[in-house]
Amino acid sequence: MVYKSVVRKALFRMHGGDAERVHETTLGALEKLNPAAKLVKRRLAGGRTVFGVRFPNPVGLAAGLDKNGRALHAWGALGFGFVEVGTVTRHAQPGNPKPRLFRLRDSEAIINRMGFNNDGALELANRLDRLGPLSVPLGISLGKSKVTPVEEAVEDYRTSLRALYRHGDYFAINISSPNTPGLRSLQDRGALTELLSALNATARDLAGSEPVKPILVKIAPDLTDPAIAELLEVCAAHEVSGLIATNTTLSRDGLAPADRRLAGEAGGLSGRPLTERAREVVRFVSRETDGRLPIIGVGGIASPDDAKRMLDAGASLIQLYTGFIYEGPGLVRRINRALC
C-alpha cells in the first residue's frame, strides 16, 4: 500500500513523467545496493528443479528490466528466485529513437519499442566477471543485432552464446520481440530449424564434457495455435529445454478508455491486457506437449492469484516485469508467500 500510494506516485512524477529516465534512475539506485545486497540471504520455500537448474523459488525477473545486468545482487535480495538479463545482442546498440517507453496507467500496462538497447555481449560478459557469483540462477536472453541482416542472424546468436556461455544457467532465444525488424520471421519453421541446429552444436562444443546448458525459446502471444504447434514440433526435434510464453503483444485489446490515446504508439504491449492471452498460450503449449516441456509463464502477472493461475495453466516458473513496476517489490514477497 505504501508503494502504490506514495513511492509509485513519486516515481511516476519524477523527470516529468519520462518513464525511461525513471527506469534508469531506479536501476542506478539498485546498482549501488549491489555490495550490501550481496550479503542478503533469503530463505524462501518453494524451491524446485526445472530443466536441470535448481531455483530457490519460482518467481523470476523477466528480461528487459535489467538488460545489462547492472543490479543482479539487488534482485536476489528483493526475493526473486532467478533473474533473466538482456535481451543482449552481439553488437552494442542504442536501440530505437526516444521516446520509446510509455505507461498506460489505467490499464496497468506498458508499451515499449526499446529495440534491444544494450552494451553488447562482450561488455555483459565483462560485467558478469566483475560481479562474481550470484545467489540465484541467471538466465541470459539473446537477440539479433539490428545491423545484422535476418539471413545472417544465426552467427549473431552463436557469437553472443560463445561470449556468455560460462555465465548463464540457461539461455533464452528471443525471436519474438516486435521491435527489431524481421526478428519474428525467425519463428518460422525453416529459420528456427537452422537457428536451433546451430545453437545446439555451439552449446555442445562449449560444454565439453559437462552437461549442455538449457536453451529455451521465447515466443510471441500473437501466433495462432497452428503456428505455435508447428513451432513446438521444431523445438521437440531439436530438444529445446523449455519455452518462455510470452513476449509482448502487438494487440491493443483490453485497454482502458483513458489509455486508448496511446494505442497508436508502435511497440509491444505488456501488463494487465496480456494476462489472459499469455495464460492461454501457456495452457495450449502444456496441452500440446502433455506437460513434458517446461514453461516459464510471463505476461500480466500482477497478483498472487495471477501467479497461481499461470502455474495451474502449466507453467513451471513465472516472471514479472510490468506487474513489478505497478505493484512494487512487495509483489514478489506476496506471490512467494501465497505459493508456499
- Please state, in angstroms and as integers, the Cα–Cα distance from residue 187 to each residue in 16, 122, 178, 223, following that order: 39, 26, 12, 9
Percent of the chain with pLDDT over 90: 83
Are the beta carbons of 306 and 88 closer than 8 angstroms?
Answer: no
Residue 238 has pLDDT above 70, yes or no: yes
Cα separation, 140 vs 163, whole angstroms: 11
Which pLDDT value is given to residue 116? Answer: 94
Beta-carbon contacts of 326 under 8 Å, excluding residues fewer than 6 positions away, are: 4, 8, 108, 271, 302
* Residue 132 reports pLDDT greater than 90: no
What pLDDT shows up at residue 181?
83
Q: Residue 91: what pLDDT?
A: 97
Per the CB < 8 A criterion, the answer to whether 120 and 88 are in contact is yes
Residue 196: CB atoms within 10 Å = 22
pLDDT at 201: 97
Q: Is the pLDDT of residue 44 over 70?
A: no
Residue 177's pLDDT is 87
The three three-digit cell numbers of residue 175, written as one number: 525471436
Cell numbers of 232, please? 513446438
Cα–Cα distances in Å, from 83 out to 67, 93, 209? 11, 22, 26
Residue range 198-222: mean pLDDT, rounded: 96
Residue 61: CB atoms within 10 A of its CB come to 25
Q: What is the pLDDT of residue 55?
A: 97
What is the tens place of the pLDDT at every residue in 274-309?
A: 999 999 999 999 999 999 999 999 999 999 999 999
Q: Which residues are annotated as a binding site for FMN?
A: 63-67, 87, 141, 174, 218, 246, 271, 300, 321-322
- The stretch 120-144 carries a mean pLDDT of 95
pLDDT surpassing 60 at residue 43: no
- Going by the DSSP 8-state scheme, the letter that residue 209 receives in this structure is T
Q: Which of 160, 176, 177, 241 is catalytic?
A: 177
Binding site, annotated residues: 63-67, 87, 112-116, 141, 174, 179, 218, 246-248, 271, 300, 321-322
- Residue 129's pLDDT is 95
Rg (CA), the chain: 18
Give yes or no: 177 in active site. Answer: yes
Q: Is the pLDDT of residue 232 over 90?
A: yes
Considering the entire predicted model, what is its pTM? 0.95
* C-alpha torsion sign, points 297, 302, 308, 310: negative
Domains and CATH numbers, the chain: 2-339 (3.20.20.70)
Task: Write down the pLDDT at residue 198.
Answer: 96
Give me the residue label for grid cell 502444456: 286
From CA 153, how far away is CA 166, in angstroms rounded?
A: 22
- Per-residue confidence (pLDDT) for residue 268, from 0 to 100: 96
**Residue 16 or 94, more confident:** 94
Mean pLDDT of the 220-237 span: 93
**Residue 39's pLDDT band (boundaries 50, 70, 90)?**
low
Q: What is the pLDDT of residue 340?
A: 83
- Angle at CA 148, nearest 5°, toward 147 and 154? 155
Give the residue ranges of the annotated binding site for substrate: 67, 112-116, 174, 179, 247-248
